[in-house]
């Protein structure tokens, strides 16, 4: 910029100082581009657009049109700096989301309280886990009892009550009480750290795209330089008019310098990333967004991705008792607990005007279940596995459209409460919308072991396939199974999704407050828990591809026309540089349309 201003001021005022000022910074700029080209050749063994910038700057010196060379160098550096600056800003915002996961863990070691990084935790150390925080180690509970949210690990949406003697896994969250957990593994051997290592390995295996575009650029740059030399030889050396040859060579390199080509992708990426960032969608560079626009397969986790992970009572079936009486007994048992399922039952009963009685002699049962005495009757609530283990017969002719919480009264099944995970309002018909945007298939993949609940969600969202009971390695295998059928996108929110997110061509996490590993392994982070954010990103990705193609078409067409005019002498170096900048401005203006990301409704 200083070089351009110096030459312009000299042309306007005639003061020699400005010429020297422009020349000094011109030389500095030329040295910077030369160094950049040298570093690229050494690191990648490929020429870059820096070669054309250097060529036009050198030729401009001999042709005494240094202003043209300075304009070319300034414009391309400014445009790239702005676009990459926006991308880097977004990357920093994503990285900031995971900084909280690096805080130290409070442990008890040899009767001393210490705060250490999780990597320094040894087997036998006792970690103190406050209510609402993530369990940092794999181990055994030695103090306290709490409802444990394992959804980010297993995908199961409903918490599990655990007490002294039960095992817990790092990454789970203690919901209702403080726990003391004795580590049975070193901190760096726990589930979270093993997953982190797998993620890093998977990210390194991601394929490099744009190789074809890079190859085109290589041929284009080398071809333009050779053509410009040929123009000089034909119009200058052979014709005996060196000055004309230099002028035409400078004009060819000035007009053909691939500024518009070079700006086509980064400015489109920057505009799209900036527009999505304003909508709470953070993207790690433009390549994932472009791949998203071409995606053939979408694999969506269930809990926290298309559902809220919040249980809701949708039906009550009573066998031999009035529903009101059954609900009162169930609410009485659950009234002494702060548990999501219990809270859902209490809320449903209260909405029906039913209030609990006093429960006595409460006893925890294996698995998910409790047993209490309510007004002289023994009332048991639990899963089918729990009830069968207690010798109760589960009715075979009852269709459960969700997760069943069976109710036993005096050791006989008296009814069932049907629990469903609350769907995101925006997720209804989501798969159909994605197919309308070009997806070939949309797949539900969940760690939820309840087939009926998984099938219900798959039907409401319009999925092509439904896979349930998947462990992390199962989701990875599912992602890889679609590898040869076009780009695959994995959308999830838990630690159990993290490795699959890293393996997929594009990994998308929904909810910025989710597990750190999920965010770190994702290419795109959607801060809002809203399935329509996925639709917004896909539409932007498809528009991005169209804009890039338009930019390339314009850049190629303009360069070919400009080279022809410059060869015949119809463009002077100064006019060639001016036309070149007009081409670049049009490319940038076309890319700027991507900043306006539309608000997407449910349809």
Which residues carry out catalysis? 301
Q: How far apart are CA 52 and CA 224, in angstroms?
A: 8
Q: What string of DSSP letters covers 177-245?
A: S-EEEEESS-GGGSHHHHHHHHHHHHHHTPPP--HHHHHHHHHHHHHHHHHHHHHHIIIIITTT-HHHH
State the residue for tokens 């607990």: 337
The DSSP bridge partners found for residue 372 are: 379
Q: How far apart are CA 364 and CA 343, in angstroms?
A: 17
> What stretch of H or E contains 303?
none
First to last CA, the chain: 48
Nearest to 241 by CA among 231, 256, 252: 231
Q: What is the largest CA-CA distance in the chain?
A: 115
For 118-178, list the strands marked E by DSSP.
126-129, 139-143, 146-149, 160-162, 167-168, 173-174
State the residue for tokens 């008890």: 108
Strand order in the sheet with 441-445: 281-283, 524-526, 506-510, 488-492, 297-300, 441-445, 465-467
Q: Residues of 549-573 as b/e, b for ≥16 C-beta within 10 angstroms?
A: ebbbebbbebbeebbebbbeeebbb
């Amino acid at each position: 910029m200083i070089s351009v201003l110096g030459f312009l001021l000299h042309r306007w005022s005639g003061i020699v100082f400005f010429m020297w000022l422009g020349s000094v910074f011109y030389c500095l700029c030329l040295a910077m581009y030369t160094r950049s080209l040298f570093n690229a050749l050494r690191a990648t063994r490929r020429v870059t657009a820096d070669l054309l910038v250097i060529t036009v700057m050198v030729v401009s010196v001999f042709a005494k049109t240094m202003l043209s060379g300075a304009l070319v160098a300034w414009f391309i550096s400014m445009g790239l700096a702005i676009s990459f600056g926006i991308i880097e800003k977004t990357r920093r915002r994503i990285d900031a989301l995971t900084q909280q996961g690096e805080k130290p863990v409070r442990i008890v070691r040899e009767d001393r309280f210490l705060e250490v990084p999780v990597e320094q935790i040894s087997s036998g150390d006792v970690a103190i886990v406050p209510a609402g925080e993530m369990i940092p180690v794999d181990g055994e509970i030695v103090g306290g009892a709490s409802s444990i949210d394992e959804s980010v690990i297993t995908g199961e949406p409903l918490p599990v009550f655990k007490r002294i003697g039960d095992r817990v896994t790092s990454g789970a969250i203690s919901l209702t009480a403080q726990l003391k957990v004795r580590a049975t593994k070193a901190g760096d051997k726990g589930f979270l750290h093993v997953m982190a290592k797998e993620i890093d390995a998977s990210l390194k295996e991601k394929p490099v795209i744009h190789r074809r575009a890079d190859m085109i650029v290589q041929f284009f740059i080398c071809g333009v330089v050779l053509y410009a030399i040929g123009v000089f030889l034909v119009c200058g050396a052979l014709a005996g008019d060196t000055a004309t040859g230099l002028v035409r060579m400078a004009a060819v390199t000035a007009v053909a310098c691939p500024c518009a080509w070079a700006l086509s992708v980064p400015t489109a990426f920057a505009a799209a990333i900036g527009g999505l960032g304003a909508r709470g969608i953070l993207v790690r560079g433009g390549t994932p967004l472009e791949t998203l626009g071409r995606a053939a397969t979408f694999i969506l986790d269930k809990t926290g991705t298309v559902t809220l992970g919040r249980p809701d009572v949708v039906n009550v079936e009573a066998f031999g008792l009035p529903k009101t009486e059954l609900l009162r007994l169930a609410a009485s048992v659950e009234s002494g607990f702060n548990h999501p399922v219990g809270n859902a039952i209490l809320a449903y009963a209260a909405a029906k005007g039913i209030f609990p009685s006093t429960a006595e002699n409460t006893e925890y049962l294996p698995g998910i279940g409790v047993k209490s005495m309510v007004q002289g009757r023994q009332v048991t609530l639990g899963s089918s596995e729990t009830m069968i283990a207690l010798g109760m017969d589960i009715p075979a002719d009852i269709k459960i459209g969700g997760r069943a919480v069976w109710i036993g009264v005096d050791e006989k099944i008296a009814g069932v409460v049907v629990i469903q995970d609350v769907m995101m309002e925006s997720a209804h018909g989501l798969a159909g919308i994605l197919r309308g945007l070009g997806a070939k298939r949309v797949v539900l993949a969940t760690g939820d072991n309840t087939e009926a609940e998984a099938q219900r969600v798959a039907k409401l969202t319009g999925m092509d396939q439904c896979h349930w009971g998947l462990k992390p390695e199962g989701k990875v295998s599912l992602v890889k199974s679609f590898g040869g059928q076009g780009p695959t996108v994995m959308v999830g929110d838990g630690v159990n999704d993290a490795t699959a997110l890293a393996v997929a061509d594009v990994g998308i996490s929904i909810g910025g407050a989710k597990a750190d590993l999920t965010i770190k392994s994702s290419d795109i982070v959607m801060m809002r828990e809203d399935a329509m954010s996925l639709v917004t990103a896909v539409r932007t990705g498809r528009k991005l591809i169209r804009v890039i193609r338009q930019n390339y078409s314009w850049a190629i067409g303009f360069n070919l026309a400009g080279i022809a005019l410059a060869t015949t002498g119809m463009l002077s170096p100064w006019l060639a540089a001016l036309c070149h900048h007009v081409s670049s401005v049009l490319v940038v203006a076309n890319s700027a349309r991507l900043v306006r990301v539309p608000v997407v409704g449910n349809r």
